[in-house]
A and B are shown apart, each in its own frame.
Chain A
Amino acid sequence: MIDITHEPLDPELITSRVLQNTNGAVITFLGTTRSVSGERKVLHLEYEAYRPMADNQLKKIAKEINERWAIQDIALSHRLGRIEIGEVSLVIALASPHRKSAFEACHYAVDRIKEIVPIWKKEFFEGGEVWIGSQEDLVARGTPEATHSG
């Protein structure tokens, strides 16, 4: 169950979609908007996506999880547009007969979404705005990659 939407996400509703009697463990992950990012005070975020590639990449991740952990009850929902502090931008819900697979698969899902799904986050903070992951962002945070050249 893949969903990319501009509407607010409902974690309970999304979780209910993966609940099946055969599953003993249900995990719901919420990606939320923090008010602090490094030294910056965040005012709000905006998300942008390349669709339908983003939708297809989410489906790919669900398929990878199914193949690796035999989990088929998976819901991945990402919100786009303007998101306020404290609101939810991402919901991952999945269910498995046993908790070990569920925890591992959820961890994998979050990391994998950040790797291969073309959705970008712009941070509006006190004093400016920056695309997360961009050169400006890396320089501001003083990461090694910021000084990498060529």
Chain B
Amino acid sequence: MRVNIRLFAAHREKVGKSQFELDLADGSNMEQLARAIVALHPTITQNPLRLAIAVNQEFVDSDTILKDGDEVALIPPVSGGCIHSQKLIRKIATTQVTLTSQ
């Protein structure tokens, strides 16, 4: 299946584009998504910093399974950082993916 990845802020700068299509196995989850993105664009890797993911413009949790045609946005921390970001990650039930090269 194919999903459309949206990138913003530092991710957009590191990869050099604001969106791209990604082919994934049917039924892929958030972890598989993260691995596929890193494989395709290794420049996006960073020190483990949990980030949020929005699918079709809604925040999702790590159980989410992707479907063909989904719009997937990587959402780097939006607040002024610090403890707030980490509370945010837990509060809005985001994925626990990290973008690192294995």
Contact = CB atoms under 8 A, between A and B. Distances in A.
Interface of A: 48, 50, 52-53, 56, 114-120, 122, 131-138, 141, 143-145, 148-150
B8 A114 contact: no
Contacts of B88: 115-116
B77 to A, nearest CB: 4
Interface of B: 6, 8-10, 46-49, 54, 57-59, 73, 75-86, 88, 91-92, 98
Contact of B79 (A53, A115, A148): A115
Contact of B10 (A56, A131, A141, A144): A131
Contacts of B49: 134-135, 138, 145, 148
Contacts of A149: 47-48
Contacts, number: 86
Nearest to B88: A115
Given A50-B6, A122-B9, A114 B78 contact: yes
Nearest to A49: B8
A53 B80 contact: no
A106 to B, nearest CB: 17
9 contacts: A48-B8, A53-B73, A56-B57, A114-B79, A115-B92, A132-B80, A136-B10, A138-B85, A150-B48
Contacts of B77: 133-134
B7 to A, nearest CB: 10
Nearest to B58: A53
Given A145-B86, A148-B48, A116 B81 contact: no
Nearest to B46: A135
